[in-house]
Structure 1
Amino acid sequence: MQIDRPQAIAKAPLHEPRNPGMPLDLDWMRRVQANTSAIERRAATLPGRRSVKKDWQAAWLLKAISLIDLTTLSGDDTEGRVRRLCAKARQPVSREILDKLGLPGLTVGAVCVYHDMVPAAVAALRGTDIPVAAVSTGFPAGLSPLHLRIAEIGESVAAGAREIDIVISRRHVLTGNWQALYDEMREMRAACGEAHVKAILATGELGTLRNVARASLVCMMGGADFIKTSTGKEGVNATLPVTLTMLRAIRDYNDATGIKVGYKPAGGISKAKDALNYLALVKDELGSRWLQPDLLRFGASSLLGDIERQLEHHVTGAYSASWRHALA
C-alpha cells in the first residue's frame, strides 16, 4: 500500500502559534499509560505495509531532506568542518540532480552544532533562511548545575542560534519527580526567549515507554516547541516504538489544548528507507500538517548521503559510491 504523495516540498512560511505550556496537570500525567506489546506490534508491521517506489519515493526523499537538522556534534569539530557542513546544508544534493527533479532551491531544515560553533554556522548560513540550532544545557548528559545550563542557553541565543536543543534531567523521570522536570522545562523555555526549544528526552535511558509518554507530556506542559528522542550519544536512540509513543502524546496534547508540538527523532537514522518509515508513521498518526519543517525534523548526519545516492539512482539509473557524497 502506498502513502500519498507529499504536499509542496518548498518551505513556505508557516505560522503555528508557539506552545505556551500550561499548568502541570499531575492527574492527566498519571493517567498516561503505554501498552508496550501493542506499540511494538504496530511499529513492527509498518515497514511491510507502507512502501513507495519510483517518482513517489523520490518525492518523499526530497521531503525528508527539507526536514533534516544536519548535525555535527564531535569533540574534534572545527570551524572549517562547520563551514563545509553549512555549504552542504545550502546545497544538499547536486544542482544537476535537483534541476532534473524540479527543486533547485531545496535546502535542509537546520544546521545543529555545539555552542562554540554557533558563530561560524551563523556566518556560513548568512543570506539563507536556514536556522542554526545549538545543543545546550550540558549536552549530552545534562548534569551540570542548572544555573550554568540556563546561562549556556542565553549565550547560544545571543550568538545567533534560533533553535535550542536542551537535554532534560533523566533522574527526574526515573524517580518520578515530575514537578522538578516541569519546573526545569519552564525555566529553560523562558531562557530561550524567541528561540524555539526542542526538549531531548534521551528515551534510551528512561527505562519504559510509559516513562517516555509521561516525560513527553510533562515537557509539552512546560512549553517545549518540539520533543526529541535522543542526543545521539545513548546506547539506544530513535526507534519506531518510541516514535509511536511520542507521536501519540503529541496528538493527545493537541486534542486537549489545540497546540501543535513538533517531533524530532535523532540518532541512528542513517538510511533513506528509515526516513520513509518515520515519515509514514508521522503521517498516519498526526496527518500531513506535521510533514513540514516547523513540526518535524530528523536529527542526522549520514542520512543525507544515503538519500542523495537514492536520488542519483532515480535520475541516472545507477548507484554512485558512498564516498562521492561526503558531508563534511
Structure 2
Amino acid sequence: MVTLSRTPSHPHERNPGTPFDLSAVEGALVNRSAIERRAATLPTRRTVKKEWQAAWLLHAITTIDLTTLSGDDTPGTVRRLCAKARQPLRPELMEALGIAGRPIATGAVCVYHEMVPTAVEALKGTGIPVAAVSTGFPAGLNPHALKLKEIEASVAAGAAEIDIVISRHHVLTGNWKALYDEVRDFREACGPAHMKAILAVGELGTLKNVMRASLVCMQAGSDFIKTSTGKESVNATLQNSLVMVRAIREFYEQTGYKVGFKPAGGIRTAKQALDWLILMKEELGEEWMQPHLFRIGASALLNDIERQLEHFAYGRYASMQYQPLG
C-alpha cells in the first residue's frame, strides 16, 4: 500500500504584485556554469525507489495540468481528456496499489478558449479547474486590446486559470517596463482567475533574460510563472527551471509572496516528473511541491506514470496500446 500526500487546506495569500523595480531586475545575475553543474547532477544525486517512488508518482498526478492544444481538438477529445482528469487511474490499479476509494485527480485541464465551455461542463462538480491558454497563444503577437478581451472571454466562460504568453520582444529589447505593464494589464483582466505567465524560455536568448523576465512577471502579479508553450524548439529544461525557481525564492524572500512554478513542454516520462519534484523539494521546500504552487503541463506524461505504477503493482509493464490516452 502507498500513501497519498495531501495538499494544505489553507491556500497561501495570492501574489498581488509589487511596484515596478528596475534596479532589482537589472541587478539580477545568473552564474551559468553553476546552473549547468547543478542541473546536470540533480537527476543523478537524488532518487526515490519502490513504494516511495509509487507515492511520489501518485502525487505527481495531482500536479499535472492535463493538456490538449491541437488544431484538431474536438468536444469529444476534450470530454475524453476530462474523464481521464477525473479518474487518472483505472479502479483495478488503484485497488492493487491499496488506494481504492481515495480521491485522486489531476491539477487542472488546459485547453484553448474555444473548448473552455465543454471542459467546464465535463468537470462540473469535481473541483478540477479549467485552465485556458490566452493572449495570442503561442506566439503572443495579437494586438494588446484583443489579448485582454480573450482573457475576459475565457474567464466569463468559466476558466479558473489563465495561461498567458508574454511578448518576447520586450525581453529581447530590454524593455522591462513595457513587459511589466503588459503583464499587469493581463492580471487585471484575469480578475479572480489565477494567472500563469508563460515566458517561452527557449526564445529568450539567455538565462539572465529568463531570470529577469521571471522577476518582472512576479512584480506584475503573476500567480505562477511557466517555462514554455510547448510549441518552441526548446521547452522546459532543468537549467531554465532552476533559474526560474531561484527567482521565485528571491521574490518570496523580498516580498513574502509565494509564486507557483509550471514547467511545460517535453516532460513525457515518470522519471522526468520525479526530477522536477526533487528540484522543487530541494530548492523551495515541500510546500512548493503541492498543486497550489506546482504544476506540470503535459499530455503524454500521465500514460508513462500509469505504466510505472502498473509495474510497481503487478511486476510488469503494459503495452502503451492499453493506456486510455495511448
TM, length-normalised to structure 1? 0.97
Contact kept, 8 Å, 1:97 with 1:312, in 2: the verdict is yes
Q: In the TM superposition, what is the alpha-carbon distance from 1:100 to its structure 2 partner?
A: 3.0
Q: What is the match of residue 93 of structure 1?
A: 89
Instruction: Report runs of 4+ in structure 1 exceeding 2 Å deviation.
Output: 6-14, 99-104
The answer on 1:232 being equivalent to 2:223 is no
3-state SS of paired residue (2:162): strand
**Alpha-carbon deviations, 1:218-253, whole Å to 9, x = none?**
000000000000000000000000010000000000
- 1:316 is matched by which residue type in structure 2? Y
The answer on 1:64 being equivalent to 2:60 is yes
The answer on 1:17 being equivalent to 2:35 is no
Q: Which runs of structure 2 are paired with 1:1-328 in the superposition (5 Å)?
A: 9-103=5-99, 104-327=102-325
Contact kept, 8 Å, 1:14 with 1:294, in 2: the verdict is no
- 2:284 is matched by which residue type in structure 1? L
Partner Cα distance (1:71, 1:133) in 2 = 9
Q: In the TM superposition, what is the alpha-carbon distance from 1:36 to its structure 2 partner?
A: 1.0
Contact kept, 8 Å, 2:113 with 2:134, in 1: the verdict is yes
Partner Cα distance (1:287, 1:10) in 2 = 15
3-state SS of paired residue (1:165): strand
Q: In the TM superposition, what is the alpha-carbon distance from 1:12 to its structure 2 partner?
A: 4.9
Q: In the TM superposition, what is the alpha-carbon distance from 1:310 to its structure 2 partner?
A: 0.2
Q: In the TM superposition, what is the alpha-carbon distance from 1:9 to its structure 2 partner?
A: 2.3
**Alpha-carbon deviations, 1:168-221, whole Å to 9, x = none?**
000000000000000001000000000000000000000000000000000000
> Quick one: structure 1 residues 205 and 254, their matched pair in 2 at CA, closer, same or farther if it must change by over 3 Å?
same
Q: In the TM superposition, what is the alpha-carbon distance from 1:157 to its structure 2 partner?
A: 0.2
Q: In the TM superposition, what is the alpha-carbon distance from 1:151 to its structure 2 partner?
A: 0.1
Contact kept, 8 Å, 2:3 with 2:55, in 1: the verdict is no
- 2:80 is matched by which residue type in structure 1? R
TM, length-normalised to structure 2? 0.97
Partner Cα distance (1:24, 1:181) in 2 = 10
Q: Percent identity?
A: 65
> Quick one: structure 1 residues 165 and 309, their matched pair in 2 at CA, closer, same or farther if it must change by over 3 Å?
same
User: Across the two proteins, how many residue pairs are aligned to each other?
Assistant: 323
3-state SS of paired residue (2:125): coil
Q: In the TM superposition, what is the alpha-carbon distance from 1:101 to its structure 2 partner?
A: 2.6
Partner Cα distance (1:97, 1:259) in 2 = 39
